[in-house]
Amino acid sequence: MIRFVIMKNTHNVVSLNRKIMFTTLIFMLINVFLLAGCSNGQKEGEKGFAYISSQKGNVLVMSLENFEIISEIEVGSGNRGIGITEDGSKLVVAVKSTNDLAVIDLKTNKVSKRIFIGENPEMVRVRNGKAFVTFEPAAIGGPPPKPGSDEAKALDKKRAEEEEEEAKIAIVDILTGKKIGEIDGGMETEGIEFSYDGTKIIVTNEADENLSVHDIRTGKLVKKIDTKELGNRPRGIKRSDSGRFYLATLEYGDKLLKLDENFDITETADTGKVPYGISFSNEKDLAYIALSRGKAIEIFDTNSMKSIGKIPAGNRCWHFSFTPDNKNLIVACGRSNDVLIIDVASKSIEKRLENLKMPWGVVTYPKAYGTLDTPN
């Protein structure tokens, strides 16, 4: 009788151990799948990473835990436009010195592919697994001549006489590493944005003094919006997700343009000196504008189209990104060779990373609002 009880208890213990082992195995498998899902190497609990392109250096990887640079990725000099896939597995960077798009595997932080784009690739936007990359065969490099100057007139004459090739937008399938299409832009095409239905691309053409809208599938020009009478050199373009409108900047007009969903200009506003990159924020009615020569980030109420303040920044800050929690701005300031961490609530510089090599663009993962990306 006693023997029977012992055997019964032993059987219960074995069954319990099997249940524990089975449960442990299930949890281990769940953890494996969760870690595999963090395709950019981000660990559970981490705030994420920022990726910063540098025209005279490497791509910088910043931890959003402490805003420190934790590694660098070598892609070649003249890396500017930068974007990240929706799942955070791939980073893409336009590299001027090699005229290509470097695809970086964020599991290893190493270049896995290089895709030839064309001469002078610059701006990059990523959407639905595709990279849209501007390249400018006729770009002269360096800052543009002042509109109306003798230098500008001579350049216009040269381009007309030599019938210089206009810029294009390459469409790249990031997964396959193939360039699958091209869209004809204008002279010095710069900013890129997408229509609300995702079927069109709207770009800013600096030297042509216009914005142009194109059908993504066919490449056909749908509409051209002249801006010369309002100011010179359109640069930034961004779509609002709180209302059906777009904002664009005129760099040498010190102007902010508001366009409706039909791409008609409905309002304008004066900005600080030389506006460029635009970002909306989680505060849906606010837009943030990088003033590249104004050494500030200017904030606009998009309902009234009035400036409601400026945040001091560095010299030639072209692009920036919010952090995923919307508490900070990460600002790339090319001519002062630093990256600024700005506290959004206090509108003050919290940290400055100095002695960098002409930082240009910023994106984060998890994705966030910024001049080169959006969280959705």
**Average pLDDT taken over every residue of the chain:** 88
pTM: 0.85
| pLDDT at residue 24, rounded to an integer | 45
252-298 confidence digits (pLDDT tens): 999 999 999 999 999 999 999 999 999 999 998 999 999 999 999 99
pLDDT of residue 94: 98
Q: What is the DSSP string of 99-112?
A: TEEEEEETTTTEEE
Nearest in space to 76 (alpha carbons), one of 52, 101, 51: 101
- Identify the DSSP state of 18: H
Closest CA to 323 of 274, 281, 275: 281
Q: What stretches of 164-273 adopt beta strand conformation (E)?
A: 168-173, 178-184, 189-194, 200-205, 210-215, 221-226, 234-239, 245-250, 255-260, 265-270
Residue 190, pLDDT score:
92
Element (H, E) at 81: strand 79-84
Tokens of 296: 């500030």
pLDDT at 4: 36
* pLDDT for the residue 32: 38
* DSSP symbols for 107-175: TTTEEEEEEE--SSEEEEEEETTEEEEEE-TT---SSPPPTTSHHHHHHHHHHHHHTPPPPEEEEEETT
Which tokens go with 127?
A: 């959407």
Distances 109 to 39, 78, 106, 212, 346 between C-alpha atoms, Å? 11, 19, 5, 36, 34
Confidence at residue 8, expressed as pLDDT on a 0 to 100 scale: 43
At 111 the pLDDT is 98
- Structural domain spans, the chain: 1-37, 42-365
Pick the CATH number of 42-365 from 3.90.1150.10, 2.130.10.10, 3.40.50.300, 2.60.120.10: 2.130.10.10
Q: Which of 358, 352, 360 is nearest to 319 (CA)?
A: 360
At 61-80, the pLDDT tens digits run 999 999 999 999 999 999 99
| Residues 318 and 276 sit within 8 Å (Cβ to Cβ) | yes
Which residues have a Cβ under 8 Å from the Cβ of 325 and sit 6 or more positions away?
A: 47
Q: Mean pLDDT of residues grouped by 10 in the chain (376 residues)?
A: 40 47 44 43 70 98 97 97 98 98 97 97 97 85 63 61 82 97 95 97 96 98 97 97 94 97 98 98 94 97 97 97 98 98 97 98 98 93
Q: Can you give the pLDDT at residue 143?
A: 57
> Which residue is associated with the tokens 């959407």?
127
Tokens, residue 315: 């010299």
Residue 137: its pLDDT value, please?
84
Within the chain, residue ranges assigned H as helices are: 2-37, 150-162
Q: What is the pLDDT of residue 23?
A: 47
